[in-house]
Amino acid sequence: MKKKYFDYIIVTIGIILFFVGIYFVRTIQSSEGVWKALPYLLIGMGSGLFGTGMVIGRKNIEKNPEIRKNYRNYAK
């Protein structure tokens, strides 16, 4: 059960970082140095965490036959 919640936490953090990065791209106009790159770093980190959480969740589904059966029934 802990891994299931871990996947959701990673995906949620990824989505939050992605949208914070988008927000910073739109709002920070005059920036120099690190502040100029920060929004793009947040977007990249958010995308990476989101993708990692989705892959981990899918691998957990593949490992457990009962969950896999329920997942296939739900997808139909």
Nearest to 28 by CA among 73, 50, 20: 20
Tokens matching residue 56: 């981990």
- Predicted confidence at residue 17, as pLDDT, reads 92
Tokens matching residue 54: 């989705």
- Predicted confidence at residue 18, as pLDDT, reads 92
At 7, the pLDDT band (50, 70, 90 cuts) reads confident
Query: CA angle, 37 as apex, 17 and 6 as ends, to 5°?
Result: 20
What distance in Å separates the CA atoms of residue 62 and residue 44, rounded to the nearest whole number?
27
Tokens matching residue 65: 């036959």
- Predicted confidence at residue 2, as pLDDT, reads 64
